[in-house]
């Protein structure tokens, strides 16, 4: 008697995009076809793929795949069951995804910007049509973080999560820390490594991390995707000096995406952050990604791996394809919900403005070297109820008469700190703006 796998017809994939991730996906699906079929219960075949330029050299073998420059011909192809969108960006990816759903095709995408900005409408359309939209590869490349939060931690109330979710920034900060190099110098090298976005300001100004944080927060807390409410600050203002001072105090500087549930609402923020060097996540270096998720039942959990690259990202894309194939026969109402929580149970919790967020701070001031300067500074902090955790005073830098003072504060509400810093900056003995970097113990 024929077994079930041999009687079900293969599932047909249409790929949009044959670049790094598209090529990696073809390679992984081909190389591991036997294992993947054993897991999915059906054979999976790529029937068609679109690319902007068909003459470009590829990292994969495309024999047997219909190649075209016409992406619409894929989303309208009656032979295609699942459309895999690996073009990136909003245009034309957004229109193609909607057209694929309109034509009754399930969608797998690695497009973080598309999901962060338009996911709410995309999932509504998918629900209306009884289709799946899977997006594991959109956050932290090969790390199965979406599945971990949505399914593995489903018994928990998530309290907070904090992640290194942009490999380019982590590479830059690692080089600055290990070799004392300057930001601009390392950025050029990071672009050459092929991890950076087409527009590298998306990486260094924190926008790419904010797209990913938007998605993580939504599935962690059951809230709508709200990219426009994320506080975003990048790493372009971080100097090698700050990295070295932080190290002297026992901290590393990382670009973190942080989502935290507080009594007043949800904190959503991306910014450079001092983390105690004893934390595992502080030791995640180079282009690697890692996310700590704190659940009330499980405690802190850490997920680490490659956040970009052809095959790591393909690993997530293929896992999504297998998930879609496995659930093809299940009733749409009983599938895992797109945003982890049942659509009717998504809660509109308030997102806190950054002025209401409480964090500890690293402050660096440039001060005149004379009696009373430090006393003036600490009095201002005390008047605002800001308590100091550590203070160091360094020798003046070469040729300068002013000396750097570095202060670490305990937790303070940001609006209080803003007032205190404005008063410190107004002191005649302090020059230039006070450099400030938020600090998290992640305890
Ligand atoms: N530019 C991104 C990064 C690629 O550096 O992490 C993966 O999303």
**How many angstroms does the Cα of residue 302 sit away from the middle of ligand 1?**
19
Q: What is the mean pLDDT of residues 354-369?
A: 96
Quote the distance between the C-alpha of residue 49 and its chain's center: 27
pLDDT at 195 over 90: no
Q: Is 206 a pocket residue for ligand 1 (Cβ < 6 Å)?
A: no
Calculate how far, in angstroms, residue 214's C-alpha sits from the geometric centre of ligand 1. Answer: 15
What confidence tens digit (pLDDT) does each residue in 388-423 have? 999 998 877 777 788 999 999 999 999 999 999 999
pLDDT at 1: 37
The residue from 105, 147, 212, 435 that is catalytic is 212
C-beta 308 within 6 A of ligand 1: yes
Average pLDDT for 27-50: 96
Does 362 contact ligand 1 (Cβ within 6 A)?
A: no
The percent of residues in the chain predicted with pLDDT above 70, rounded, is: 98
Mean pLDDT of 186-211: 89
The answer to whether residue 212 is catalytic is: yes
Q: Which residue has the higher pLDDT, 117 or 400?
A: 117
- CA–centroid distance, 168 to ligand 1, in Å, is 6
pLDDT of 55 reads: 92
- Ligand 1 geometric centre to CA of 360 (Å): 28
Q: Is the CB of 205 under 6 A from ligand 1?
A: no
pLDDT over 80 (residue 119)? yes
Q: How far is the CA of 134 from the centre of ligand 1 (A)?
A: 19
Tokens representing residue 85 in the block: 């969108």
Interval 238-254 mean pLDDT = 95
pLDDT over 50 (residue 177): yes
* Ligand 1 and 309: CB distance under 6 A: no
Q: Is the pLDDT score of 153 beyond 70?
A: yes
Q: Which atom of ligand 1 is nearest to the CA of 166?
A: 6
The pLDDT value recorded for residue 294 is 98
Query: Distance of alpha carbon 126 from its chain centroid, rounded?
Result: 24
| Residue 36: pLDDT over 50 | yes
Which of 139, 81, 83 lies closest to 316 in space, CA to CA?
Answer: 139
Higher pLDDT, 359 or 393: 359
4 vs 71, residue with greater confidence: 71
Q: What is the pTM of this model?
A: 0.94
What local confidence, expressed as pLDDT, does residue 6 receive?
47
pLDDT for 7 equals 60
The dotted CATH code for 145-306 is 3.30.360.10
The per-residue pLDDT of the chain, averaged, comes to: 95
* Token output for 114: 């598309």
Of 303, 311, 248, 257, the closest CA to residue 281 belongs to 303
CATH match of 2-142+311-338 with 3.40.1080.10: no
Interatomic CA distance for residues 75 and 93, integer angstroms:
11
Closest Cα to atom 8 of ligand 1 = 308
Q: Which CATH superfamily is domain 354-439 in?
A: ACT domain (3.30.70.260)
Lowest mean pLDDT among 99-113, 228-242, 329-343: 329-343
Ligand 1 contact, 208 CB (< 6 A): yes
Q: pLDDT tens for residues 60-83? A: 999 999 999 999 999 999 999 999
Question: 196 CB under 6 A from ligand 1?
Answer: yes
Q: Identify which of 203, 213, 286 to mutate to test ligand 1's pocket (most ligand atoms within 8 A of the CB).
A: 203
Identify the weakest region by mean pLDDT among 30-34, 128-132, 395-399: 395-399
Atom of ligand 1 nearest to the CA of 196: 1
Neighbour-count burial of 58, counting CB atoms closer than 10 A to its CB (0-12 exposed, 13-18 middle, 19+ buried): middle
Q: Is the pLDDT of residue 2 over 50?
A: no
Residue 4 has pLDDT above 70, yes or no: no
**Is the pLDDT score of 359 beyond 60?**
yes
Helices 112-129 and 93-102, interaxial angle, to 10°? 10
For residue 217, pLDDT over 60 is answered with: yes
Structure confidence by residue, pLDDT tens digits, 274-315: 999 999 999 999 999 999 999 999 999 999 999 999 999 999
Q: What confidence category does residue 245 fall into, taking pLDDT thresholds of 50, 70 and 90?
A: very high
Distance 307 CA to ligand 1 centre (A): 7
Is 165's pLDDT higher than 80? yes
Q: Where are the domains of the chain?
A: 2-142+311-338, 145-306, 354-439
């Amino acid at each position: 008697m024929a077994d079930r796998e041999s009687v079900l017809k293969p599932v047909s994939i249409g790929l949009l995009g044959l670049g790094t991730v598209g090529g990696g996906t073809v390679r992984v699906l081909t190389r591991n076809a036997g294992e993947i079929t054993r897991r999915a219960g059906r054979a999976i075949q790529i029937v068609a793929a679109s690319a902007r330029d068909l003459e470009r050299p590829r990292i994969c073998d495309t024999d047997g795949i219909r190649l075209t420059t016409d992406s619409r011909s894929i989303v309208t192809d009656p032979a295609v069951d699942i459309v895999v969108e690996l073009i990136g960006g909003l245009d034309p990816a957004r229109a193609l995804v909607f057209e694929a759903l309109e034509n009754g095709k399930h969608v797998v995408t690695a497009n973080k910007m598309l999901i962060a900005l338009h996911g709410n409408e995309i999932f509504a359309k998918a629900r209306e049509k009884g289709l799946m939209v899977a997006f594991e590869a959109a956050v932290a490349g090969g790390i199965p973080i979406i599945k971990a939060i949505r399914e593995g931690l489903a018994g928990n109330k998530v309290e907070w999560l904090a992640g290194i979710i942009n490999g380019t920034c982590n590479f830059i900060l690692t080089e600055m820390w290990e070799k004392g190099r300057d930001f601009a110098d390392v950025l050029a090298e990071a672009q050459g490594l092929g991890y950076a976005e087409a527009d590298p300001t998306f990486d260094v100004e924190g926008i790419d991390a904010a797209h990913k944080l938007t998605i993580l927060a939504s599935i962690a807390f059951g809230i709508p995707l709200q990219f426009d409410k994320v506080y975003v600050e990048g790493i372009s203002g971080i100097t090698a000096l700050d990295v070295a001072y932080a190290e002297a105090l026992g901290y590393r500087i990382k670009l973190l995406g942080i989502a935290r549930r507080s009594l007043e609402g949800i904190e959503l923020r991306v910014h450079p952050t001092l983390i105690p060097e004893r934390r595992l996540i502080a030791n995640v270096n180079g282009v690697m990604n890692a996310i700590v998720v704190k659940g009330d039942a499980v405690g802190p959990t850490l997920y680490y791996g490659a956040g970009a690259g052809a095959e790591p990202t393909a690993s997530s894309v293929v896992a999504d394809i297998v998930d879609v194939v496995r659930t093809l026969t299940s009733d749409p109402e009983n599938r895992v919900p797109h945003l982890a929580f049942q659509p009717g149970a998504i809660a509109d919790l308030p997102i806190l403005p950054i002025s209401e967020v409480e964090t500890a701070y690293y402050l660096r001031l440039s001060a005149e070297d004379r009696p009373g300067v430090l006393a003036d500074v600490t009095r201002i902090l005390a008047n605002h109820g800001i308590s100091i955790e550590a203070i160091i005073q360094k020798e003046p830098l070469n040729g300068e008469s002013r000396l750097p003072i570095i202060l670490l504060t305990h937790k303070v509400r940001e609006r209080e700190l803003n007032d205190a810093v404005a008063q410190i900056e107004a002191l005649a003995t302090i020059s230039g703006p006070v450099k400030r970097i938020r600090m998290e113990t992640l305890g």
